Amino acid sequence: MAHSATTKLRPLHDQVLVKRSEDEQVQRSGIIIPDTAKEKPQEGQIMAVGTGKVREDGKTTPLELKPGDRVLFGKYTGSEITLDGEEYVVMKEADVLGVLGT
């Protein structure tokens, strides 16, 4: 599957589109953390994937990730974008650290 019908962006080649997981507003101790002090979560859901990595011989290697996968990624990975008021991160598949729940 090259892309998801829920987004209007189809990543190219070995790129993936990730929607960050919602971070909890209140910690277990009951302390509310203001938005300006919170770190963005490093976990998200794959919303769309590119067609695959193009090798030197011109053939395409398909991506292992697929829409719906829950993934972990680095803190400063990818480029943040906004589509229809929703925030996403576009990154290379190689920047994903791992898939959760498999």
The gap between the terminal CA atoms of the chain, to the nearest Å, is: 19
Global pTM reads: 0.74
pLDDT of amino acid 94: 92
Distance CA 74, CA 76 (A): 6
Exposed e or buried b per residue across 69-95, where buried means at least 16 C-beta atoms within 10 angstroms of its C-beta: bebebeeebbeeeeeeeeebbbbbbeb
pLDDT of amino acid 28: 53
- CATH of segment(s) 15-21+38-100: 2.30.33.40
Residues 6+ positions from 18 with CB-CB distance below 8 Å: 44, 45, 46, 47, 71, 73, 78, 88, 89, 90, 91, 96
pLDDT of amino acid 6: 54
Domain residue extents for the chain = 15-21+38-100
Query: What phi and psi values does residue 28 have, to the nearest 5 degrees?
Result: -60, -30
pLDDT of amino acid 17: 95
C-alpha distance from residue 94 to each of 35, 49, 87, 91 (Å): 29, 12, 21, 8
Segments of the chain with pLDDT less than 50 = 1-5, 25-27, 37
Residues 6+ positions from 32 with CB-CB distance below 8 Å: 25, 26
